[in-house]
Structures are given as C-alpha cells and as structure tokens.
Amino acid sequence: MFSNDGEALLAAKLEGDEWVLNGTKAFVTNAYKADLVVTYARTGSEKYDISAFVVPTTAKGFVRLKKENKMGIRASDTMMLGLEDLRIPKDHLLGPQGKGFNIALTTLDGGRIGIASQAIGIAQAAFDEASAYAKQREAFGQKIANFQAIQFKLADMATEIDAARLLTYKAASMKDRGERHTMESSMAKLYASEMAGRAVSEAVQIHGGYGFIKEYLVEKLYRDQKITELYEGTSEVQRLVISRGLLK
C-alpha cells in the first residue's frame, strides 16, 4: 500500500526482458490525463546510478494517488503517483542505463529557460493590466496614472521585465548554439521568477482593493507567479548553481 504523505525514490530492477518499478513520486505535472510519463528510478547501489524510463499510465501497477489542491496554475494538474510492481518492456529504458541523472540535469537546463519565459509572461500580463487600470481609474479628480508614485512603479516593472527578457534570450541563444548554458539558465530563471514576484505585487497594489478580488486578473497572476520561484529548482538552488559556476 502507498502513503500519500511522502515520497520514496523509485527503484527499478531488470527481470528477464522486463523492468519492474516500485515507489512513489510527488508533484508530477499533468499526470491526471497523461498517457505516458518519464520516470527516473534507481537501478544500482551507487549515488547517481539512476535511469530514465518511459512508463505508460495504462500499465498494471500504475496508480494516481493524489491530485493536489494548489494555490495557483490550477489549469495544470499536479499529482502524486505510485508504481507497484509495475512491469514495462526492457526497451522502455530512455537513454543508457545509469545515465538518468545526466538526462535530468540536461532537461533542467532547458526547462529553466521555459520557467523564466513563463515568469516573464506573467509579469508582462501584470504590467499590462496595471497600466491599463492606471489609465482609466480616477482618484482625487484625475487618472491615477498621473501620480508619480504610480508612474515609478510602472517604470520599475517595465525595466525589470526587459532585463529578465534579455537574460532569458541570452540563455536560449546559447542553448540553440549547443553551448553549455547551465549557469545562464539559472540566472535567467532566478531573476525572472523573482522579478515576476515584484511585478505582480505592484500590479495588485496599483489596483488597490480591487487587486484582491477574483474578478480582476491580477489576483490570479499573483497566485500563479509563486510557483516560478519553486519548480525546476527553487531560487535557493539557482543561487547555488550560479555560485558554483562562478567559483569553479
């Protein structure tokens, strides 16, 4: 039986022409309707002896344990999965045996560019909403966009969004050229995600009390943004990756 309150590293062993997988995995994106999942499982006793597998969700022993009730990005489901004596053919191994850790790291480098882009999109939407609201909302006999306090908020938002976009373009360009981009991807992801946090907070502030109401998009953006600082490696992990890259 599985427990829904924790996660155990998946383990795989080869029996004849089949791999047998056991364990649980938390925070799996879009697993509710997925036909296939990529699974990383330990295949040996060494620290990084991990392999990647393609697992059909229709396989016997595949269990969707829990759908998380999340604060934001609710259109994309997140689940805990369990594999119990799940058998897949030998050729469902993805890449060489024991090289799953390297595959995962390579995936993270590209994924962090995607998360940076997501954060920029959220921040841009927040800026657009705040700017439009400031131009139509009146207080003390004039549009609030005429107040310097609002103007400075918008100026900072626009400047930081553009800086994050350029960092992300740099990392993406390096990836396209086949260059190592681990540190640059982490820089883009770190700055863009934290920048987006500042942007959505200011957008809510510009909306005043209306920013706290679900009728207004900025309330949703405020909730959606936070995950960009968490998945594909937290901000703390990005700082670790960047510092190691700088000091090696």
DSSP letter, residue 76: S
**Quick one: how far is CA 154 from the chain centroid?**
26
Residue 171: both structure tokens together: 């990392």
Inter-CA distances, 123 with 81, 136, 223, Å = 32, 20, 12
The catalytic residue positions are 232
Burial code (b: 16+ CB inside 10 Å, e: under 16) for 117-130 equals bbbbbbbbbbbebb
HSE-up of residue 24 (Cα within 13 Å, Cβ side): 15
Quickly list DSSP for 4-50: TT-----EEEEETTEEEEEEEEEEEET-SS-SEEEEEEE-SSSTT-E
